[in-house]
Structure 1
Amino acid sequence: MIPPFETTFAVPLSCEDCIKDVSSSLYKIDGVHNVTADLPTQLISITGTAAPSAIVSAVQSTGRDAILRGSGKAEAAAVCVLETHASSVKDNVRGLIRMVQVSPTMTILDMTLKGVSPGSYNVTVRETGDISQGAVSTGGVWDAVAAKQEKRSIKGVFGTIEVGKSGLGTVFITKPIQIWEMIGRSIVVSRKQDSFDKEDPDTLVGVIARSAGVWDNDKTVCSCSGKTVWEERKEATAKGML
């Protein structure tokens, strides 16, 4: 059983009716226990066991967008943006994996792929974070050698994602691992088991990085670019970000 966890999202809200509209949509999702919203900060907090991707979809169904601002406790969340290294692809972002550690022995993984060929995709964490040559340079599957010696399941094998004809695939799973073990490693998502091809547009890679915990990130304007979070979001989605 997954313990409840909290996530916060930035959502454009202009009035109390907006809050009611979004909240009503969120409560239709299985696993949403509580929804609270703050109009001045434009933030919505959700407690429960629902996948963050399902929450974003529910908010978008109301005609609004949602940006994940934090998940779980401080230093207990991570993210991996998946990209193809194929030179033939213009907008190379093809997937996103959100990770939240909800207990000392459980991390949930919310994985989404978009714009890839239909089929079954293998998801593995690799030994290194070197993605300079795509999947080719990421090394072997993390923990594979130790797991074989100890005769147990491999921590770095996250299973598969099934992608339909629309090019979209999602999966929400749990693994008995901790966030700190994965930071700086890479993830490979591919229809191949190994012997990866850098020019395969359906072989995706990304580095696992820490993500903000709940209430750790309340910025509305980037100090580097001066752009609002919504301007950054528009540019990111144009490049394929989910």
Structure 2
Amino acid sequence: MIPPFDTIFAVPLSCEDCIKSVSESLYKLNGISNVSADLKAQLIHITGTTAPSSILSAIQDTGRDAILRGSGKAESAAVCILETHASSTTDNVRGLIRMVQVSPTMTVLDMTLRGVKSGTYKVTVRESGDISRGAASTGGVWDAVAAKAASPPRAAKGVFGTIEVGNGGLGSVFLDRPIQIWEMIGRGIVVSRKEGDFEREDPDTFVGVVARSAGVWDNDKTVCSCSGKTVWEERKEQTSKGML
């Protein structure tokens, strides 16, 4: 059973009716135990066991956009942006994996793909975070050698399962694994319809590197110190590139 965890979203809110509309939409989701809002700060705080991507969709169903500002406790969250390295494509971003460690022995993974061919995609964490040649330079599956040598043999930590993508090019899965966030930081994640022998020019193989992301209350910026853009201006750019 997944323990409840916290997520915070920035949401444009102008009045109490806005808060009521968003809250009602969120409480329709399975796994939501509490929703609170800060009208002045334009933040929605959710506690539960629901995938962040499902929360985002529920907020967007009210006609508002939302930006995930933090998940879980400090240093318990991570993210991986999935891109194709094929030179034939211009819109390289194909998906996103959000990760939150919800207990000492469990991490939940919220994986989404968009704009890809239909089919079954295998998700694996790799030994290396080298993506200079796309998935081809990420090494073997993380923990595969040790898992095979164990007595009895066990499943490798780096095998995360599959994502099913329908004819509309969308796919998502929310699952949990007995791993810790720190074990994955800096590793590559490959999502592909192939088992191995990855090729950089394969447009159906996506790769990214796991990086830490903000926990709840860790991220209070409203303007990026690098670009000078507001978080909503950044959000507009990200969605235009395929970010979910």
Normalising by structure 2, we get a TM-score of 0.98
Q: Deviations over 1:5-33 (max 9, x none)?
A: 00001111111111111011000000011
Per-residue deviation at 1:45? 0.5
- Provide the residue aligned with 2:242 in structure 1: 240
> Which amino acid counterpart does residue 38 of structure 1 have in structure 2?
D
Alignment partner of 1:7 is 2:4: no
- The alpha carbon displacement at 1:153 in A equals 1.3
SS in 1 for 2:154: coil
2:198 to 196, 199, 206: 196
Is residue 2:224 matched to residue 1:228? no
Report Cα offsets for 1:160-193 as digits up to 9, x if no partner. Answer: 0000000000000000000000000000000000
Question: What is the 5 A alignment of 1:7-86?
Answer: 7-86=7-86
The Cα offsets for residues 71-109 of structure 1, whole Å up to 9 and x where unpaired, read as 001011000000000111111000000000000110000
**Structure 2: runs of 5+ lacking an equivalent:** none
Shift of the alpha carbon at 1:143? Answer: 0.3
Q: Distance in 1 between matches of 2:78 and 2:158?
A: 15
CA deviation profile, 1:201-239 (whole Å, cap 9, x unmatched): 110000000010000001111111111000000001101
Aligned-partner residue type, residue 127 of structure 2: E
| Residues 1:149 and 2:149 are matched in the alignment | yes
In 2, distance between residues paired with 1:132 and 1:56? 32
- The 2-side partners of 1:33 and 1:186 are apart by 33
CA RMSD of aligned residues (A): 0.5
Deviations 1:40-59 (A, max 9, x none): 11110000000000000000
Q: Distance in 1 between matches of 2:12 and 2:172?
A: 25
What is the alpha-carbon distance in structure 2 between the residues aligned to residue 206 and residue 121 of structure 1? Answer: 15
Residue 132 of structure 1: aligned partner:
132
Aligned amino acid, residue 104 of structure 1: P
Aligned to 1:162: 164
SS at match of 1:26: helix
**Pair 1:186 & 2:188 matched:** yes
Q: Distance in 2 between matches of 1:47 and 1:106?
A: 17
- Counterpart position of 1:106: 106
- What amino acid maps onto 1:58 in structure 2? A
Taking structure 1 as the reference length, the TM-score comes to: 0.99
Q: Does structure 1 residue 97 correspond to structure 2 residue 97? A: yes
Alpha-carbon distance in 1 for matches of 2:229, 2:142: 38
Runs of 4 or more consecutive aligned structure 1 residues displaced over 2 Å after TM superposition: none
Secondary structure of the corresponding residue to residue 80 of structure 2: strand
Distance 1:3 1:168 in 2: 27
Letter in 2 for 1:11: V
Give the AA of the match of 1:240. Answer: G
